[in-house]
A and B are shown apart, each in its own frame.
Chain A
Amino acid sequence: MADPLHQFVINPLVPINVAGLDLSFTQSSLWMMISVGAAYGLVMLGTRHAALIPGRLQSVVELAYEFIAGLIKDNAGREGMRYFPAIFTLFMFILFGNMLGLVPMAFTFTSHIIVTFAMAITVFVLITALGFAIHGAHFAHFFVPAGAPKAMIPLLVPIEIISYCVRPISLSVRLFVNMMAGHMMLKVFAGFVTALGVFGFAPLAVTVALLGFEVVVAFLQAYIFTVLTCIYLHDAIHMH
C-alpha cells in the first residue's frame, strides 16, 4: 500500500543554494504562490465591475468581506477594523491553502508545522508589539490577573506568562495537526480501495465521506485561526 506520509515530502522544483543555505523553490512554495494568486484573482475579478447588484463572483467576495469584518467586530471590537487587511489576507491564504490542498495531486502547505508556526509566530510577535505600542510598559500588567491576592502573584504571573507564550504553539499545532491527520486518513482509506479489490467500494464510500468532512475542516481551521488571531488582537488593544 502507498505510504500515507509520502504526500508530505518536500520536493525542490528549482534548487537554489545561497551560502550553504537551501533556499530551493519547492512544490510547497509553488502551492503558496498558487494560493496567493487564486485569492488575489478572486478578489480582483470579483470587484472588477463593482456592480450595485453583485454577480456571482462579486457576491463571493462581498460574503468573504462581510464574514471577516463581522468576525473582527465581534471578537476584537471596532478598533480591530484597522487591522482588517492583515486578517483578511491571513484568512484567505489559509483557506485557499487548505482548500486547494484537497485537490488531487495538490500539495497542502498548511500540513507542515513550520509553515503554520511561521504564520502563528508572526501574528504573536506583531500583536505583542502592538500591545506594547498601544499601552507602553503598562501592557506588562496584562500578566497580573486582576483581583488576585498579593501572595498568589509570584505563582500566577509565571503561569500567565507561559499561557501567553504557548499561544503561537497551540495556534500552529491545531492547524497543522488537523490538516495532516485529515490527509493521512484520506490516503490510508484510499489505499484500501485498490488493496481490497472488489470490496474496495466500502473504503471508497468512506473516502468520499471523509473528503466532504475535510472540506468542512479546511474551512473551520482557517476560521479558528482567524478567530483566535482576532481574540489575541482584542487582548492587545483592550487588555481584557
Chain B
Amino acid sequence: MADDDHDRAFADLDQRIRAARDQREAVGKGNGADRNQPKLNFGTGLTVGIELVVGVVAGVGLGLALDSWLGTRPILTILLFLLGTAAGMLNAWRHLVRIGMIDPHGGKGDGQGRGPG
C-alpha cells in the first residue's frame, strides 16, 4: 500500500509539492474555463426525457387517484394531466438551464440549444 514513504522520497518533497501545486493551479484554470461550457453528455437527452415523462405520468396518476377517491372523474384527471405536463416541462427546462444549454434570460445559450426568444 503506502510503501512509497521511503526517506529518500522526502528529500526534495518541498520542491515537488510546489511543482505539483503549480501544475494543479494550471489544471484548475483549465477546469474553470471548461466549466463555462455546457456539460453535454449522452445522459442529457435521457434525463430531460425522463423529466417530461415523469411529470405527465405523475399528473395523470394523481388525477386518477383523486378522481376515484372524490368521485369527480374525469375533471381532476384532465386538470392534473395539464398541470403535470407543465411541471414536467418546467423541470426539463430547469435541467437544461442548469447544464448551460439554455440562457434563462432569452436568446441563445452557450450550447447548441436555443433559448425561448
Contacts and interface: CB of A to CB of B under 8 A. Distances in A.
A166 B5 contact: no
A174 B83 contact: no
A160 B93 CA distance: 13
Contact of B50 (A51, A55, A163, A173): A173
Interface in B1-44: 1-5, 9, 13, 41, 43
Interface in A46-66: 48-49, 51-58
Contacts of A163: 55, 86-88, 90-91
Contact of B46 (A49, A54, A166, A178): A178
Contact of B2 (A49, A167, A173): A49
Contacts of A167: 91
Interface in B41-65: 41, 43, 46-47, 50-51, 54-55, 58-59, 62
Contacts, number: 72
A170 B51 contact: yes
A177 B58 CA distance: 16
A177 B13 CA distance: 48
A104 B17 CA distance: 42
A224 B43 contact: yes
A184 interface: no
A159 interface: yes
A224 B1 contact: no
Contacts of A177: 50
B114 interface: no
Nearest to A51: B2
A169 B98 CA distance: 19
A23 to B, nearest CB: 28
A62 to B, nearest CB: 12
Contacts of B51: 170
Contacts of B91: 163, 166-167, 170
Provide the main secondary structure of the chain B interface.
Answer: helix
Given A163-B87, A170-B91, A224 B59 contact: no
Nearest to A221: B43
Given A159-B83, A162-B58, A220-B43, A231 B90 contact: no
Contacts of A55: 1-4
Nearest to B61: A169
B100 interface: no
Contact of B54 (A57, A173, A224): A173
A171 to B, nearest CB: 9
A41 interface: no
Given A170-B51, A170-B54, A57 B1 contact: yes
24 contacts: A48-B1, A53-B4, A53-B5, A54-B2, A55-B2, A55-B4, A58-B1, A158-B83, A159-B83, A162-B80, A162-B86, A163-B88, A166-B54, A166-B87, A166-B91, A167-B91, A169-B54, A169-B58, A170-B91, A173-B50, A174-B47, A174-B50, A177-B50, A178-B46
* A-B CB proximity, top 7 nearest: A55-B2, A163-B87, A51-B2, A162-B87, A55-B1, A170-B54, A49-B2
